Structure 1
């Protein structure tokens, strides 16, 4: 059972509880990106188990008429075992989701997984997507990686969505920019390129008000469709406020492997840590 202190950031341990949370935020005009917590599997049984749950929850989403989609991690689907395993498992999930009209996001992990992730995304997006639409599949790119400018040029005509984030992994200096100011400038430049060159399908994955405002300015200038994505438990009042005017989605994690995820969320931002401490000490 997830303790109350973690409920701010994790929807629950079961799909049913997670979908109850989805219903609640849907009532406030916020969509849900549902993620079963799990990563870096080196054996096939947990890969098969999580894949089966993703296929099942795609059916639950479709059958309940919820405004929700899925988000999966490559290392959760067997990338650490082999790229062939990852490809096979991902396609099974995507095929099931497409049959049920449920969108699938592929999360991005550290830089060593980027090529395999983008290759799988592009192949499946072209197979299952439709030219001139946002397709059935989305992928995440990270502004802190020096390669990302080239990557988004490659992705500009792929029939899918692209989520832009700053990047949360501690990457080597030869592949990543150092310092928040440098990453912020790159993030803004990537958004400008995307809003000018993409037909749509831009997802702004950020809690930074300056980056969100920049995206809105780009939207006003170019008229390109976009959405805003934030994490469950982080700036939720802002999510609901923005949803009155823009397309807003909340990343909703659930599952038994919640402890490490909660620790990261609670310690990555000062206000999150203050929330956790108040919950522990009753202040």
Structure 2
């Protein structure tokens, strides 16, 4: 294992006296959930929401400072790893399962938006978008599969939720690589749902524009009409990360026991217009 790919020195046990879940209604009580890309944006909101609902969480990402912040809030575990690398991903998932005493939930929230036209999008940029937005979730799903199957054999609920994007369903401007990758993630989720069900439930979520650093970076670009962009959404505003996290929490919970192979559109009312 390449030690540069996963920083096991920063593996942290639950910090005493901090970040204990409030367990508002405990719908995920006793669950053990990994969130990739859990250091910021939607991934962070999902980690915090799962913790509030009683789950033990392990977050995986590339920026240790952000991971440490979320870990302090959730009281869970964090692993700094490049999820685009197969060995690093396998190691991080293994260490997560070992730390939590198993694994019965996986949320892939890793993603990157590279806005570029067809002429600007060379092979390197195309490959990077596919690698981060599609291959990384595939690697995480495959690495988590033995642990999810073990949980299912033990009678526990096992679930995967992949975070895609509205761009998977509606063509955007200058984001063909991102759209193609996210569309692939939706179909990938449906396909493995058929393969792994009924023991493991797999679903995907397509958020619209969410108030995250990634969206802010897009809306801050020269020539982007922020108000005009937001006006296309029926809610008349950007969605909040916590709102998407609520959908994911439902899909992970036993309340969604009959939901499998579905794609949930949580977009603030853009796709149907």
TM-score by length of 1: 0.38
Higher RCO, 1 or 2 (CA under 8 Å, sep at least 6)?
1
Give the TM-score of the pair, scaled to structure 2: 0.39
Structure richer in helix, relative to its length: 1
